[in-house]
Structure 1
Amino acid sequence: MKEDEVGNKRKLDIQELEAIRNNAYESNMIYKEKTKVYHDKMISRKTFVQGKKVLLYHSMFKLIAEKLRSRWVRPFVVTRVFDHGAVEITSKQTSKTFKVNGHRLKPFYEGFEVKNEELDVLENPTYQD
């Protein structure tokens, strides 16, 4: 009789372990779905228009130890936008045309005009209460 009780207890333990595994699997799938939705929501979509200027990410600079060097290379002009994120760009300096992945590009914004404003500076400032 003891063998039957031990056998039944073992079967119940195995079933309970299987239920715990299934619960963990379902929880893991729910977590992955929520994480994917959050990640997809935070991705900024880039749209490129023909004739606009863009900067190209130069991946070789990632290996260089210079911290303050910009990893974005000179402005290029978008000549053609392909399906699935490919973009054809042209360099104004060398007039070479090549295709790159749109993830390696970011829009180039022209600099703001700086107005020269002259300020009256006192040689010996005095503070008055």
Structure 2
Amino acid sequence: MDLKSGGKTRFLQIHELEELRNHAYESSSRYTERVKRFHDKILRDHKDLRIGDLLLLYNSKLRLFPGKLKSRWMGPYKVKEIFSYGVVTIEDPNGASFKVNGHHLKLYIKGPVDPVEEILELHIPRT
């Protein structure tokens, strides 16, 4: 292979690599936009709060206490007022009210609790 044809081949390889990089960048951008739309849709759909709804508040300061199975959600609290940009005024059962970020809230679903428990007996396998 002479120098001229080798240079031409190398030039084509470099441009092919550049096209692959551009294609990967565009594909990554499309994926990011699609994931963002999906995430925003989920956030918007599940945060339809109304005055009087019962909510649970996420307690981020609970990490100092031991017990990984302890719930970090406190409540229920009642929605008193809703402001723009996701700020919500909630009221605890004692009547004290305070403002919190709406991202730290989730709806409290109160339902009947079935008192019947299922008991499974575990047997030790014989060897």
Could you tell me the TM-score, scaled by structure 1's length? Answer: 0.69
- SS in structure 2 opposite 1:73? strand
Shift of residue 100 of structure 1?
0.7
Bigger radius of gyration, 1 or 2? 1
Listed as ranges, the gaps of 5+ residues in structure 2 are 116-127
Distance between the aligned counterparts of 1:13 and 1:111, measured in 2?
Answer: 65
Aligned residue in 1 for 2:54: 53
Aligned residue in 2 for 1:89: 90
What is the 5 A alignment of 1:31-42?
Answer: 31-42=31-42
Cα deviation digits, residues 61-113 of structure 1 (max 9, x gap):
245331332211122221100112110012232x3321111121122244538
Q: How many residues align?
A: 114
Aligned residue in 2 for 1:21: 21
The percentage of counterpart residues that share the same residue type is 41
Shift of residue 57 of structure 1?
1.0
Q: Which amino acid is 1:29 matched to?
A: S
Distance between the aligned counterparts of 1:100 and 1:73, measured in 2?
Answer: 13
- SS in structure 2 opposite 1:65? coil
Aligned residue in 2 for 1:66: 67
Q: Which amino acid is 1:112 matched to?
A: P
Could you tell me the TM-score, scaled by structure 2's length? Answer: 0.70
Shift of residue 4 of structure 1?
2.1
Q: Does 1:102 align with 2:71?
A: no
Q: 1:68 to 1:76 in 2, by over 3 A?
A: same
Task: Provide the aligned C-alpha RMSD in A.
Answer: 2.8
